[in-house]
């Protein structure tokens, strides 16, 4: 795509979307249009990534034959991405987990015994009772990712524990959210509160939107660009979105904060910041100004390798379009260990441009509340326990790595059981050997998954969940610009084999634990209907349309709607007294990070538009399109090393760890010569995943080192270096 055709096709898409106000007749009457009686369509939402776009499943003779985007969905607006369209590949994957299984061998060397549900759940309940008696309920942890996790959190609470963590915090967007929270008293949401479609200037740091296919967000950025927004993308790699930018700044990795601080200084020193906005809404301006004096464009050039003229030019361009500027906060933010401070730098930049709560910057989201299932007994009193993350004062959520640490060491207190819901921990957490060590110290590891992933081989009991097209699930609420979306997940077809939904599993297990009163729902549909009833939400409409949209409050600052900042001062904190009190830098300070030695490359990784982490790597509709990952290598470097395009190579990291498999080289001009790049999620090690096992290589096999963010415990994984090893 050239920038022109890319924008043209996106513009057409936007026009189509704008015209839709209710589910088109043609779509709803799909079943009636045909003479056949055994056809139906079921609105629900996607789980092939966390964007959760609304979709409509077309069912023929009891089989899903196609999925389309639900035009009413704010997350997808009638469209599905490549992965979302591959729903049938997830539903009809013959490798799926089919029955409960009990490991009669060792963790890591399993010997599987097929079990009945009763047998598996009785075993788990018995172990849980024993663990509670011996170590207390808080020794059980839940590590989770995905919509169904809320049922497992409910089970955990009913049992008496609050110990749950998601890799999406410490291994992903936690540093970003904490950085913004410390500055504005609010995070940036998911979906993010970026007002891209109305932006006049967009700046992205390493966000490869489009490859990182966040449906409505990609539509928004494309629509903003089609309307004339200018864009600067800062990335060591010419990502797809960078190729549509006005300026691509191929920054030296690990130096982004230098650029951000130089921009902050420039806006202040050239008087280009929004003085009225800062005076009215912010505090700590003088402290900020004093702290950034050293960060001149000349200095930033030496750190980042971006010419000083370009640094100045972009700062002035941003200022010219302010406040309709969105300097994106990114999503995967666990980069180098000072990630909260980098995110705070981005937050401060937006504040100087006056773009928080302004059209084209960041909007104020509209939310909706759906009450819990009525009449549930109060949770048991949890003991006042020290948070495992005590060392990290702004660990807003528990981190997975602290659970891992407590499991291995028993400190600050023992953790003896894990439930792992929808997370392939072997590929998700850095330092795999540490994860294995922790698992070997447990008394119980239960995995709830749809696929026989790497983590399954370390489990004691495996509970097969049915896929998102076969189940009711919890209600999903999304916050958007002036609107909120309430979405339903409902089954298009019956669960295959003996797989079951989470609402059923926790109810049965709860009963066996003697906690039946916490699980009073009859079934998944009644659970949703009762919550709707309690919140005055029309369940029949939700069931029919898949989503209900609620109109909401003003998305921007107006005379009537002034922002309330949830910070201690009630203002935007440019200089953070709360950080200073805890011994951290009140204004982000630049520190140098190690750079690769001669012959080494920094290992960078990211998202494929056709896969989500490892969860889609076995999907036959997607493996047809992309079955392995490639190693992006600078073409000139390749020539120097005698490596040709299409050669297979091994990688060896700074600790001498070699990739178990080989990866195919892609020589390209689109990358700096001090890095290599690959898609994350490949290199699965699980024989039962017949299309994914050992296809491509895994970044996670080479991430033997992580830097921990001292503010919130995030584990950054981009400080690993590799050399290329040629060989058969
Ligand atoms: P996946 O590898 O996709 O990612 O971490 P994870 O969420 O662990 O594993 C998802 C698991 O959910 C799979 O086992 C899949 O089979 C299962 N699953 C899919 N659908 C369902 C379902 O409906 N029900 C159940 N019960 N299970 C289901 C992601 C995390 O990883 C994140 S958010 C980020 S941003 C980080 N990215 C990242 C990286 O890029 N590189 C490295 N090395 N590590 C990373 N860790 C983080
Ligand atoms: Fe599904 Fe794609 Fe939407 Fe993610 S962005 S929820 S994979 S359609």
Q: What is the ipTM score, two decimals?
A: 0.94
Please list the residues that pair with 708 across neighbouring strands.
715
Q: Does residue 83's CB lie within 6 angstroms of at least one atom of ligand 2? A: yes
Q: Does residue 175's CB lie within 6 angstroms of at least one atom of ligand 1? A: no
Sign of CA dihedral 425, 428, 429, 430: positive
Residue with tokens 């490549």: 82
Q: What whole-number distance in Å separates Cα of residue 154 and Cα of residue 479?
A: 23
Q: Which of 610, 656, 332, 613 is nearest to 454 (CA)?
A: 613
Domains of the chain: 3-91 (2.20.25.90), 94-166+397-465+500-520 (3.40.50.740), 174-365+563-581 (3.40.228.10), 601-726 (2.40.40.20)
Q: Does residue 167's CB lie within 6 angstroms of at least one atom of ligand 1? A: yes
Q: Does residue 84's CB lie within 6 angstroms of at least one atom of ligand 2? A: yes
Q: Does residue 629's CB lie within 6 angstroms of at least one atom of ligand 1? A: no
Q: Does residue 76's CB lie within 6 angstroms of at least one atom of ligand 2? A: yes
* Three-class SS state of 352: helix
Q: Does residue 680's CB lie within 6 angstroms of at least one atom of ligand 1? A: yes
Q: Is the pLDDT of residue 8 over 60?
A: no
Q: Does residue 74's CB lie within 6 angstroms of at least one atom of ligand 2? A: no
Among protein residues, the one with the nearest Cα to ligand 2's atom 1 is 84
Q: What whole-number distance in Å separates Cα of residue 395 and Cα of residue 423?
A: 20
How confident is the model over 275-287, as a mean pLDDT?
97
Q: How far is the CA of 81 from the centre of ligand 2 (A)?
A: 6
Residue with tokens 């050669």: 647
633 with 667: CB under 8 angstroms? Answer: yes
Q: What whole-number distance in Å separates Cα of residue 373 and Cα of residue 520?
A: 9
Q: What whole-number distance in Å separates Cα of residue 582 and Cα of residue 570?
A: 19
* Assigned token pair, 435: 């994860």
User: What is residue 382's predicted lDDT score, i.e. its pLDDT?
Assistant: 76
Q: What whole-number distance in Å separates Cα of residue 249 and Cα of residue 237?
A: 9
User: What is residue 38's predicted lDDT score, i.e. its pLDDT?
Assistant: 79
Q: Please report, rounded to a whole number, the percentage of residues in the chain having pLDDT higher than 90.
A: 91
Q: Which of 611, 693, 171, 667 is nearest to 435 (CA)?
A: 171
Query: What stretch of H or E contains 636?
Result: helix 635-641
Q: How far is the CA of 611 from the centre of ligand 2 (A)?
A: 10
Q: Which atom of ligand 1 is nearest to the CA of 453?
A: 14
Q: Does residue 716's CB lie within 6 angstroms of at least one atom of ligand 1? A: no
Q: Which of 187, 164, 183 is nearest to 174 (CA)?
A: 187
Q: Which of 30, 578, 502 is nearest to 344 (CA)?
A: 578
Q: Does residue 605's CB lie within 6 angstroms of at least one atom of ligand 1? A: yes
How confident is the model over 440-448, as a mean pLDDT?
98
Closest listed ligand to the CA of 90: 1
Q: What whole-number distance in Å separates Cα of residue 630 and Cα of residue 356?
A: 39
How confident is the model over 140-165, as a mean pLDDT?
97
Q: Which of 572, 566, 568 is nearest to 283 (CA)?
A: 572
User: What is residue 497's predicted lDDT score, i.e. its pLDDT?
Assistant: 98
Instruction: Give 104-131 as a 3 state SS string.
Output: CCECCECCEEECCHHHHHHHHHHHHHHH
How far CA 213 is from CA of 83, 259, 320, in Å, comes to 9, 26, 30
DSSP state of 274: -
Q: Which of 726, 700, 727 is nearest to 599 (CA)?
A: 726
pLDDT digits (tens, 9 = 90+) for 456-500: 999 999 999 999 999 999 999 999 999 999 999 999 999 999 999
Q: List, in order, residues 6 or more apart from 538 with CB less than 8 Å away.
A: 532, 548
Mean pLDDT for the chain? 94
pLDDT band at 381 (very low <50, low <70, confident <90, very high): confident
The DSSP bridge pattern shows strands 601-606 and 675-679 to be parallel
Q: Which atom of ligand 2 is nearest to the CA of 49?
A: 4
Query: What stretch of H or E contains 502?
Result: helix 502-512
Q: Is the pLDDT of residue 666 over 50?
A: yes
How far CA 426 is from CA of 47, 149, 429, in Å, comes to 20, 19, 6
* Three-class SS state of 64: strand
Q: Is the pLDDT of residue 17 over 50?
A: no
User: What is residue 384's predicted lDDT score, i.e. its pLDDT?
Assistant: 63
DSSP string across 134-168: HH-GGGEEEEE-STTHHHHHHHHHHHT---EE-HH
How far CA 173 is from CA of 311, 380, 422, 714, in Å, comes to 27, 31, 18, 9
Q: What whole-number distance in Å separates Cα of residue 361 and Cα of residue 354?
A: 8
Q: Which atom of ligand 2 is nearest to the CA of 45?
A: 6
Q: Which atom of ligand 2 is nearest to the CA of 83?
A: 7
Q: What whole-number distance in Å separates Cα of residue 156 and Cα of residue 368?
A: 25
Q: Which residues of 187-215 are buried (b: 16+ CB within 10 A; e: fewer)?
A: bbbbbbbbbbbbbbbbbbbbbbbbbbbbb
pLDDT digits (tens, 9 = 90+) for 241-272: 999 999 999 999 999 999 999 999 999 999 99
pLDDT digits (tens, 9 = 90+) for 634-651: 999 999 999 999 999 999
Q: How far is the CA of 397 from the centre of ligand 2 (A)?
A: 25
Please measure the distance between the N-terminal and C-terminal CA atoms of the chain and give it in whole angstroms.
36
Q: Which residues of 628-647 are buried (b: 16+ CB within 10 A; e: fewer)?
A: bbbbbbbbebbeebebeeeb
pLDDT band at 390 (very low <50, low <70, confident <90, very high): confident
Q: How many other C-beta atoms can be found within 10 angstroms of the C-beta atom of residue 95?
A: 18
Q: Does residue 172's CB lie within 6 angstroms of at least one atom of ligand 1? A: yes
Q: Does residue 613's CB lie within 6 angstroms of at least one atom of ligand 1? A: yes
676 with 721: CB under 8 angstroms? Answer: no
Task: Evaluate the omega torsion of the peptide bond into residue 323 and state whether it is cis, within 30 degrees of 0.
Answer: yes
281 with 362: CB under 8 angstroms? Answer: no
To test ligand 1's pocket by mutation, which of 45, 98, 145 has the most ligand atoms within 8 angstroms of CB? 145
How confident is the model over 235-245, as a mean pLDDT?
97
């Amino acid at each position: 795509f050239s920038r022109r055709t890319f924008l043209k096709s996106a513009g057409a898409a936007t026009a189509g979307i704008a015209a839709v106000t209710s589910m088109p007749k043609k779509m709803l009457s799909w079943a009636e249009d045909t003479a056949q009686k055994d056809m139906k369509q079921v609105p629900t939402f996607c789980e092939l990534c966390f964007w959760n776009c609304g979709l409509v499943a077309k069912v023929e003779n009891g089989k899903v034959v196609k999925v389309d985007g639900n035009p009413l969905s704010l997350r997808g607006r009638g469209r599905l991405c490549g992965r979302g369209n591959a729903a049938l590949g997830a539903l009809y994957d013959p490798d799926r987990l089919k029955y409960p299984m009990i490991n009669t061998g060792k963790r890591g060397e399993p010997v599987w015994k097929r079990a009945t549900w009763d047998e598996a759940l009785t075993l788990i309940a018995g172990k849980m009772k024993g663990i509670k008696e011996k170590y207390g309920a808080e020794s059980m942890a839940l590590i989770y990712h995905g919509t169904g996790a809320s049922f497992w959190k409910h089970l955990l609470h009913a049992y008496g524990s609050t110990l749950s963590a998601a890799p999406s915090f410490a291994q992903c967007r936690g540093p970003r959210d904490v950085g913004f929270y410390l500055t504005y008293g609010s995070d940036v949401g998911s979906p993010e509160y970026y007002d891209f479609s109305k932006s006049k200037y967009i700046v992205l740091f390493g966000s490869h939107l489009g490859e990182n296919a966040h449906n409505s967000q990609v539509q928004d950025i494309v629509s903003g660009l089609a309307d004339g927004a200018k864009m600067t993308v800062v990335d060591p790699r010419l990502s797809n979105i960078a190729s549509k930018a006005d300026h691509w700044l191929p920054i030296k990795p690990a130096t982004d904060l230098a650029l951000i601080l130089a921009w902050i200084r420039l806006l202040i020193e050239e008087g280009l910041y929004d003085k009225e906005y800062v005076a009215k809404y912010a505090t700590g301006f003088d402290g900020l100004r004093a702290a950034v004096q050293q960060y001149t464009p000349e200095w930033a050039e030496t750190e980042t390798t971006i010419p000083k003229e370009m640094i100045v030019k972009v700062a002035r361009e941003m200022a010219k379009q302010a406040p309709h500027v969105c300097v994106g906060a990114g999503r995967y933010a666990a980069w180098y260990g000072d990630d909260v401070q980098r995110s705070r730098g981005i937050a401060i930049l937006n504040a100087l441009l006056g773009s928080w709560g302004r059209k084209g910057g960041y909007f104020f989201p509209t939310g909706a509340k759906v009450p819990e299932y009525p009449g549930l007994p109060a949770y048991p009193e949890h003991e006042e326990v020290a948070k495992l993350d005590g060392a990290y004062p702004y660990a807003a959520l528990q981190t997975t790595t602290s659970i891992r640490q407590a499991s291995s060491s028993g400190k600050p207190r023992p953790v003896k059981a894990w439930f792992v819901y929808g997370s392939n921990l072997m590929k998700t957490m850095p330092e795999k050997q540490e994860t294995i060590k922790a698992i070997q110290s447990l008394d119980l590891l239960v995995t709830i998954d749809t696929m026989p992933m790497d983590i399954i081989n370390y489990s004691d009991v495996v509970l097969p969940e049915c896929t998102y097209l076969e189940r009711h699930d919890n209600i999903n609420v999304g916050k958007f610009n002036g609107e909120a979306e309430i979405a339903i997940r409902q089954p298009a077809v019956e669960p295959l084999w003996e797989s079951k939904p989470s609402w059923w599993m926790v109810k049965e297990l709860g009963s066996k634990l003697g906690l039946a009163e916490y699980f009073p729902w009859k079934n998944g549909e009644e659970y949703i209907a009762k919550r709707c009833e309690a919140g005055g939400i029309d369940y029949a409409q939700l069931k029919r349309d898949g989503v209900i949209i609620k109109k909401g409050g003003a998305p921007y600052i107006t005379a009537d709607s002034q922002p309330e900042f949830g910070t201690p001062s009630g203002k935007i904190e440019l200089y953070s007294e709360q950080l200073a009190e805890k011994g951290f830098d009140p204004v982000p300070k630049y520190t140098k990070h190690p750079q690769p030695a001669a012959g080494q490359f920094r290992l960078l990784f990211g998202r494929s538009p056709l896969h989500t982490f490892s969860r889609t790597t076995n999907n036959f509709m997607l493996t047809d399109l992309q079955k392995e990952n490639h190693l992006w290598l600078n073409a000139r470097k390749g020539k120097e090393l005698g490596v040709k395009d299409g050669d297979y190579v091994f990688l060896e990291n700074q600790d001498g760890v070699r990739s178990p498999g080989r990866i195919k080289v892609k020589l390209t001009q689109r990358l700096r010569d001090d890095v290599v790049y690959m898609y994350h999620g490949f290199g699965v090690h699980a024989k039962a995943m017949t299309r994914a096992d050992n296809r491509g290589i895994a970044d996670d096999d080479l991430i033997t080192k992580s830097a921990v963010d001292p503010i919130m415990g995030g584990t950054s994984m981009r400080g690993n270096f590799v050399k290329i090893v040629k060989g058969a």
